[in-house]
A and B are shown apart, each in its own frame.
Chain A
Amino acid sequence: MQQSYTESIREAAKRLLSEKRVEAVIGFRKGTIPFMNEPFLARTVEQADLLIWDGNCAMNLANYLPKRTGSVAITAKGCDSRSIVIHLLENQIKREQLYILGIPCRGMTDKRKIADNLNGREIIEVEETGEKLRVLGRDFEQSFERTEFLEENCAVCTHKNPVLCDELLGEPVEEQQIDRYEEIRKIEALPPEQKRLFFDELIQPCIRCYACRNACPACYCPTCFVDESKPQWVGKTTDPTDTRTFHFLRAFHVAGRCTDCGSCERACPVGIRVRLFTRKLEKEVKELYGYEAGVVQDERPPLDAFRPDDPEPFLG
């Protein structure tokens, strides 16, 4: 099924490029290592033949849109399309610049979960056929059911189909009804001291490389608060205070804007589950304002607007 997306993406990209409907197409090309693809800008019909789609297209391509000039087509899963909506609402790109190739998404593969099942053996090659994964190493071969090894955000995703597109490249997939916040409630229930310890341990491996921030489509500030230098807002060390400040502030800044695409977690080189922060704030926004980021196109995000009847339980 993913194979057919590759064909339809190429076909659409070639058509749009040759008709000069767009100047370029943002998609993925095959990566150089297992479970990785590279975001790619196809500018010619020949380059369109490099575009592919499989379970390793997790990075949110909406990240490449802010402040873009000219017309561009973009392949968009459910989460990417929601981030595009956020960008449209926040005036980062104009609708008329965009041609959205919608991809009903079957979820992305969690490479770390697969690796956990291989006892340290290195994966040299992966073949994805339908929902089957065949993983090859130097002296082993193992098969996996892809649906059991989805990225955590995909496993709890409730918007697999694009919310906005110009062309849908496949039949819509079934959306699931699922409790997205079971784990968050468990953390909420921890006594304060344990909660602090939990967070400190969670972010202890952080090397402050900002891959989470830079992989995030919602993080497009011309100068991020961690880069403010006159005066400096946040310390640059890996002390718990500095690291905590970065992660907490980043999570607050994307509250009501984060679409839980999971790019932050996938990008983190040391495997920090940063979505535990963003999902907590997603839950708050949903409970307070009944709002899900990027689903509705004609309403300002709640933290972007004031209404006299906004709930204020904290003033209690």
Chain B
Amino acid sequence: MPDIRISKENFPGAIKQLMDRYRVFAPVKKGRFHEFALLQNVEQADLGFSNTLLSPKGLFHPQAERMFEYSLAREDPNAGILKEAQKDFSPRVILGIRPCDAKAFELDDANFNTESIKDPWWVQRRETTTMIGLACESPCSTCFCTSMGTGPFDTAGLDVLLVNIGEGYAARALTEKGTKVLEITSGCSSPAGDHLPLAERQQAAEQRIGTAFDPAAIAKKEMLELYNSPAWEEVQFACLNCGACTFVCPTCWCFDIQDEVCADKGDRLRLWDSCMFPLFTLHGSGHNPRSNKIQRVRQRFMHKLKYYQDKYNSGPACVGCGRCVQACPVNIDIRQVGQKMASPDCSCSI
């Protein structure tokens, strides 16, 4: 399908047409911050955002997911049998997702959707979701996507890429799902013609993003050399061991499973967990293999920047969205830590 244009005037109409067919999630301003929320009306969508405070991972991997429900009533013949909790897998669109976040879901697939293990809810949500990405033209000073193998115009994981071209948006279908949503909104669009200034805009955006560190240099290092580096001592000092970095991160997927029982009804829940919390690794025996802060801090960075690369023979489990840099209450900056890890003696020039 050739590229199209949607003018600013027609854009609300296009969203409306999508809302007639899909559940549409888009950035909505709430208080000081933006978040991806189910649109109740077209006006709520605000594409004039830099990025959302929380990543949209909750749309695929909810913070608290009711997986199963069960009864414990004695007279119930099905007592103790898990029943899948009702979930909504009707088709939906995520409008305005940034390329870094879409790329993050591809990285998360390595955990939730593999040859041998498929998380049914993750997979179904991925299949029934069409992602309309919005190219990032004003990257934040904390962005470092280009160092992490993605970029402000990266199409990985997207079905459509929108680019703000001033008088409206240029749209490029990237998949069949993408073609379908552009066909649905075709009444609001016109052919793009040949002179879309996309390459220049992409270049301008990329130039605004500095180089943070080279993950390939970390991949090449000996794992134990990094693991045993004295640099962790300095990195960990300030850390409060809260979960802010992991909860805002689009590629932190770790969870805990718990049963909540009230009278004779029970729910089995899947809840975001964090490697920053001591409880995360506490064994039933009482032993905790990561009982010290330094071990937990090291785990987070090693998992993202070393173990993931080694295990999947790929780039890092980080897309450079910069959320953790902004959210950390004590300014632990993954760009600085990555530089340390990549440098020959794990030192840092900053």
Q: Which residues of A contact B (CB under 8 A)?
A: 31-33, 36-41, 59, 63-64, 112, 115-116, 120, 122, 124, 205, 207-211, 213-215, 227, 229, 232, 235-239, 263, 266-271
Contact yes or no, B247 A229, CB < 8 A: no
Say if the beta carbon of B77 comes within 8 Å of chain A: no
From B242, B274, B331, A215 is in contact (CB under 8 Å) with: B242
Closest chain A residue to B141 by CB distance? Answer: A124
A124 to chain B, nearest CB (A): 5
Say if the beta carbon of B258 comes within 8 Å of chain A: yes
Q: A227-B278, A236-B64 are in contact. Are A32 and B333 (CB under 8 A)?
A: yes
Contact yes or no, A37 B331, CB < 8 A: yes
Say if the beta carbon of B256 comes within 8 Å of chain A: yes
Contact yes or no, A209 B247, CB < 8 A: yes
From A39, A210, A237, A270, B53 is in contact (CB under 8 Å) with: A270
Q: Which residues of A contact B277 (CB under 8 A)?
A: 210, 227
Q: A229-B282, A236-B258 are in contact. Are A122 and B50 (CB under 8 A)?
A: yes
Closest chain B residue to A236 by CB distance? Answer: B271
A39 vs B330: C-alpha distance in the bound complex, in angstroms? Answer: 7
A35 to chain B, nearest CB (A): 10
B227 to chain A, nearest CB (A): 21
Q: Which residues of A contact B274 (CB under 8 A)?
A: 209
Q: Which residues of B contact A120 (CB under 8 A)?
A: 48, 50
Contact yes or no, B242 A207, CB < 8 A: no
Q: Which residues of B contact A (CB under 8 A)?
A: 30-33, 48, 50, 53-54, 63-64, 138, 140-142, 234, 237-238, 240-244, 246-248, 256, 258, 260, 269, 271, 274, 277-279, 282, 325-327, 329-333, 335-336, 350
A36 vs B238: C-alpha distance in the bound complex, in angstroms? Answer: 12
Q: 23 A-B Cβ contacts within 8 A?
A: A31-B331, A32-B331, A32-B350, A33-B142, A33-B325, A38-B238, A39-B237, A39-B330, A59-B329, A63-B240, A115-B32, A116-B32, A122-B50, A208-B63, A208-B247, A209-B247, A211-B244, A211-B329, A214-B242, A229-B279, A267-B329, A269-B53, A269-B247
Contact yes or no, B238 A39, CB < 8 A: yes
List of 6 A-B pairs having minimum Cβ-Cβ separation, nearest first: A267-B329, A237-B64, A211-B242, A214-B240, A214-B242, A209-B243
Given A37-B331, A239-B64; 18 other pairs, CB 8 A cutoff? A32-B350, A33-B326, A33-B331, A40-B237, A205-B30, A209-B242, A210-B242, A210-B243, A211-B242, A213-B242, A229-B282, A235-B260, A236-B258, A236-B271, A237-B64, A267-B242, A268-B329, A270-B54
A235 vs B144: C-alpha distance in the bound complex, in angstroms? Answer: 36
